[in-house]
Structure 1
Amino acid sequence: MFFFHPMDFLIFIAFGIAMWAQSKVKGNFYKYSRVQASAQLTGVQVARRILDKHGLYDVTIERSNRGDLSDHYDPRSKTVRLSGPIYSGASVSSLAIAAHEVGHAIQHAESYSMLKFRSALFPAANIGSRMAPWLLILGFFTFEPLIGVGIGLFSAAVLFQLVTLPVEYDASHRAKVELEELNFVSPQEKVGVGKVLNAAALTYVASAAIAVLQLLKFIMIFAGSDD
């Protein structure tokens, strides 16, 4: 019953949605990576101009060697890391993703509340995602109270996933605003930017849904064991 639970059917559906969302991300990314933006600026140039507009001269930009879609902002070193196609590309996808990552840098500079909350949750969420599955298995087969401990730790990981949603949506909103205010995209290109960023947001929604369903499954198993 621990390995095959009725909740698994919903989890499988959520996994299916996640896979579809991931394919949507890649599809839109590659589609609009072939559409050159009228601004004729590369991702790194756009990122730098948005950062400078906000006075974030201490935020650096680096090329990431982790492959496509490995773009991220590192708040510890105040560094925006862009993958090769985004860093040197001048496509609609390049501008959208570069602006999105800069959106996180702006959040950091402005002490955006949800970003601060997510950062505070990270240590507990990291431990929870690593330890919870083992505690749940041990609790089910050996010492039952460990299931409750595992659920508590896993809850931190789930909360982290849920808090990630407004953080990512806000960064995408900031990206769209910045690109429009600086006239880096035309009205037609703005549609492409929206599709690239909205598809990426769907992956976070699907991941959060999977995490919530898994948590509900564990709670139901724990409640059932008490009965």
Structure 2
Amino acid sequence: MGLYLILIIPVLILSMFVQWRFRSKFSKYAHMQLNSGFSGKEVAEKMLRDNGIYDVRVMSTDGQLSDHYNPADKTVNLSTDVYYGRSVAAAAVAAHECGHALQQARSYAWLNLRSSMVPVVSITSNLLQWVLIIGVLLIAFTFNPIVLAIGVAGLALITIFSIITLPVEFDASKRALQWLKNNKGILYTTEEHTQAKDALWWAAMTYVVAALGAMTNLIYYLSILFGRQRG
């Protein structure tokens, strides 16, 4: 437990800071109305059209910061605040999610790999907690490492998935910002573009700390597995 606390506490502090910073940035830029007056829905639809994508639907979804792109049914799902919002934050988030649609249309390798892993990762995530608990108990009382080894393999898969997510998210933001920069009718001023870039940067950082958290858990359970085996 001591090792776990040493590993996890810095990650938890960093995660809380990043989440707070991201939410504060989003809240700040959500109150800065676009000079162009575009809504998030309109930004998304224009970005898709400008890139020759006509088979992707832009939809409104419940929840706050629940925005995502679903490659399975080709939908850009925007939270209500983003879908109807006419702010810098709404434009940035809408363009980012459309960046994922561009990735799929251009057969971006990292997105294809990530999408292929989703079904397995989803099942693994649902079962992993119980596998790890049972594995730790078995290795503690019977010295049998098989179940824990399976759990560690699942953690490794989730860690790999988290790492693969990073280039996917950074590339989507890059595509979004490039399109916004080239379309002066959306973000009129340099200040608006800088604000959009700042919002997407902090959004990306949430994925970075998630990957760090996954790696921390993996290291901890590896230490239990190999520590017990040496003992």
- Counterparts of 2:6 and 2:125, CA distance in 1: 22
- Counterparts of 2:85 and 2:209, CA distance in 1: 29
- Counterparts of 1:139 and 1:78, CA distance in 2: 39
Specify the alignment match of 2:200 in structure 1. Answer: 197
- Asked if 1:50 is matched to 2:53, the reply is no
- Counterparts of 1:144 and 1:50, CA distance in 2: 52
- Counterparts of 2:51 and 2:64, CA distance in 1: 27
Unpaired runs of 5+ in structure 2?
Answer: 139-143
Counting only pairs closer than 5 Å after superposition, residues 59-74 of structure 1 correspond to structure 2 as: 59-65=56-62, 67-74=63-70
Counting only pairs closer than 5 Å after superposition, residues 118-197 of structure 1 correspond to structure 2 as: 118-142=114-138, 143-183=144-184, 184-185=186-187, 186-197=189-200
- Counterparts of 1:63 and 1:123, CA distance in 2: 24
- The CA deviation string for residues 98-137 of structure 1, in whole angstroms up to 9 with x for no partner, is 0000001111111110001111122222232222332222
- Asked if 1:79 is matched to 2:79, the reply is no
- Counterparts of 2:100 and 2:159, CA distance in 1: 21
Q: Is the 8 A contact 1:32 1:92 kept in 2?
A: yes
- Asked if 1:35 is matched to 2:32, the reply is yes
CA spacing shift, 1:133–1:5, aligned 2, 3 Å = farther
Which amino acid is 1:125 matched to?
Answer: V
Which amino acid is 1:137 matched to?
Answer: I
Q: Cα distance, 1:138 vs. partner?
A: 1.4
**More displaced stretch, 172-181 vs 117-126:** 117-126
Q: Is the 8 A contact 2:131 2:147 kept in 1?
A: yes
Between the aligned residues of both structures, percent identity stands at 35
- Counterparts of 2:66 and 2:93, CA distance in 1: 10
**TM-score scaled by length of structure 2:** 0.93
Q: Cα distance, 1:140 vs. partner?
A: 2.2
Q: Is the 8 A contact 1:124 1:153 kept in 2?
A: no
- Counterparts of 1:11 and 1:94, CA distance in 2: 33
Q: Cα distance, 1:22 vs. partner?
A: 0.9
Which amino acid is 2:29 matched to?
Answer: Y
Number of equivalent positions: 223
Specify the alignment match of 2:23 in structure 1. Answer: 26
Specify the alignment match of 1:214 in structure 2. Answer: 217
**TM-score scaled by length of structure 1:** 0.94
- Counterparts of 1:130 and 1:217, CA distance in 2: 20
- Counterparts of 1:61 and 1:202, CA distance in 2: 25
Q: Cα distance, 1:29 vs. partner?
A: 0.6
- Counterparts of 1:156 and 1:122, CA distance in 2: 11
Unpaired runs of 5+ in structure 1?
Answer: none
Cα RMSD (Å) of the superposition?
1.2
- Counterparts of 1:150 and 1:5, CA distance in 2: 21
